[in-house]
Amino acid sequence: MPNISIYLNDETLEVVRAKSNVEKLPLSAIVKDAIEQYMNISESKKARNHLLKTLIRKRPLGEWEELHKERTSSDAYRG
């Protein structure tokens, strides 16, 4: 695996070192796991945004006033 250098502020480095000591893992493993988790979350957000944009394009939601009026009307019938 190629090596990289990263710079962390003192507080973050302290937290990573503490986790390293508790879990008996090297710092690099903790940083690698954190990056992989971030990338998975990032990809999920991209996929969710893509889906939302596609749905809106295929069936626009309408203007806020229109939606509010419809919601208010529905709430009135719930009694």
pTM of the entire predicted model: 0.54
Residue with tokens 């503490």: 18
- At position 12, the amino acid (one-letter code) is T
At residue 51, the pLDDT reads: 86
Q: Is the pLDDT of residue 68 over 80?
A: no
Q: Is the pLDDT of residue 74 over 80?
A: no
Q: Is the pLDDT of residue 27 over 70?
A: yes
Are the CB atoms for 6 and 31 separated by under 8 Å?
yes
Tell me which of 27 and 1 has the higher pLDDT.
Answer: 27
pLDDT in tens, 32-50: 999 888 888 888 888 888 8
At residue 30, the pLDDT reads: 94
Which residues have CB under 8 Å from 16's CB, separation 6+?
8, 27, 30, 31
